[in-house]
Amino acid sequence: MNSDNRIKIVRIASLTALIGNIIICTAKLIVGIYADSLSVIGDGIDSATDVAISVMTLAVSFIISRPSDKEHPWGHQRAETMASLILAFIIMTAGFQLFLTAGGKLINVYRGTAAIPMPHILALIVTLSSIAIKLLLALNQHILGKKAGSMMIQANAKNMTNDVILSGSVLTGLAISHFFKAPFFDAITALLVSLWIMKSAIELFMELNVELMDGNTNDILYKQLFEAVNSVEGAHNPHRARIRRMANLLDIDLDIEVDAGISICEGHSIAEKVTSAIKEKIENVYDVMVHIEPYGIHNCEEEGFGLSEKDINN
């Protein structure tokens, strides 16, 4: 699949998710406010973040398609990371506000200064409907994401699957509140939903932090890298390997050693074969930079960064 078709599928997936999430979010917030249901409002806030995610993926599909330029020699792939980082803070803020509201209502009920109204039947209906729509959206995102090979869209499909679980917990709380005449369960559910929202924000932030710090916690990628280098005749002792992630792409730097008696052209040819072997072994490689050193000659420079096979094996 060429780049234009891939980006077209990503945009279709983003638009589908955007329209579906706007419908779900609007319905939940209207019914939640009308029925005075904190858990439904909280679920609606979570759906609002899904709308933001859909807008982000749509905008990112235009930005990442732009070629590298003078100001961005590595391209524009990190636009997705930066947008996701902003989104993580939005999610955290929304979750914390819901936590304060639900916690305040429970404290007032405990003190006897306020009562929580019984949830309206509409709250049950809109939550059940949103679960059905969300399942269809998750399936749509999974199929299109897999077809386009887009980790961003597939991640959105997983996020929607989590939303189904979240809405299911809200539905359970509403059902208990409505049928067992225990309305405080609605506020308790809202409190749990707020914790779930904040947990999601923290996990997203931690994942993005690794990428922004040019880190990589996947040892399998390094093992695949060293296996690819060792498969090339004439390439020895791969070391100072560094893999950093740019959205769904990988930027790789490493040093190899070659026979000191060969020509520059021969050394360059080995480096090109190493690059090809790495791209065949590892998916979504953006660029590979191979530095050549003479085989067996000790380098006096202290190499304080990058990994070797010994580091991975240990």
Three-state secondary structure string covering 246-280: ECCEEEEEEEEEECCCCCHHHHHHHHHHHHHHHHH
Q: In terms of Cα–Cα distance, which of 298, 251, 257 is closest to 274?
A: 257
pLDDT of residue 48: 83
Residues 45 and 121 in one domain: yes
At 229-286, the pLDDT tens digits run: 999 999 999 998 998 887 667 889 999 999 998 999 999 999 999 999 999 999 878 8
Residue pLDDT, tens place only, 88-131: 777 777 778 778 777 777 777 666 654 555 556 777 788 788 88
Identify the domain containing residue 226 by its residue range: 219-313
For residue 164, what pLDDT is reported? Answer: 77
Asked if residue 133 and residue 12 are part of one domain, the reply reads yes
Asked if residue 160 and residue 37 are part of one domain, the reply reads yes
Two tokens at 102? 């639900």
pLDDT for the residue numbered 155: 72
- Round to whole Å and give the CA distance between 252 and 289: 6
State the CATH number of the domain containing residue 62: 1.20.1510.10
CATH number (domain holding residue 308): 3.30.70.1350
Q: Are 223 and 153 in contact (CB under 8 A)?
A: no
pLDDT tens by residue, 122-167: 777 887 888 899 899 989 988 988 888 776 777 777 777 777 766 7
pLDDT reported for residue 233: 93
Q: How far apart are CA 13 and CA 8, in angstroms?
A: 9
Shared domain check, 303 and 197? no
Asked if 277 and 184 sit in the same domain, the reply is: no
Q: What angle do CA 27, 28, 31 make, to 5 degrees?
A: 80
Give me the pLDDT at residue 86, please.
74
Q: What's the total number of domains in the chain?
A: 2
Domain identity same for 231 and 306: yes
Measure the CA–CA gap between 76 and 58, rounded to whole angstroms: 14
- Whole-number Å distance between alpha carbons of 93 and 227: 44
Ranges of H-type helices in the chain:
3-34, 38-63, 78-111, 121-148, 151-179, 184-212, 219-230, 264-281, 309-313
Question: Is residue 17 located within the same domain as residue 98?
Answer: yes
Are 192 and 224 in a shared domain?
Answer: no
State whether 12 and 62 are in the same domain.
Answer: yes
Provide the token pair at 185.
């369960």
**DSSP letter (8 states) at residue 304:** -
pLDDT band at residue 197, thresholds of 50, 70 and 90?
A: confident
C-alpha atoms less than 13 angstroms from C-alpha of 100 in its C-beta half-sphere: 5
Residues 198, 225, single domain; the answer is: no
- In this structure, which amino acid lies at residue 139? L
Quote the pLDDT of residue 181.
Answer: 67
pLDDT exceeds 80 at position 173: no
Tens digits of residue pLDDT in 5-42: 777 888 898 899 899 989 988 988 898 888 777 767 87
Most confident of 67-76, 170-179, 233-242, 300-309: 233-242
The confidence score (pLDDT) of residue 1 equals 57
Q: Are residues 201 and 241 in the same domain?
A: no
Q: Enumerate residues 6+ apart whose C-beta is below 8 A from 48.
A: 25, 29, 94
- Of 180, 212, 244, the position where a domain reaches its end is 212
What's the pTM?
Answer: 0.61
* 206 and 223 both lie in a single domain: no
Picking from 162, 179, 212, the residue at the C-terminal end of a domain is: 212
Q: pLDDT at position 168, please?
A: 73
Strand pairing class (249-258; 285-294): parallel
Residue 161: phi, psi to the nearest 5?
A: -65, -40
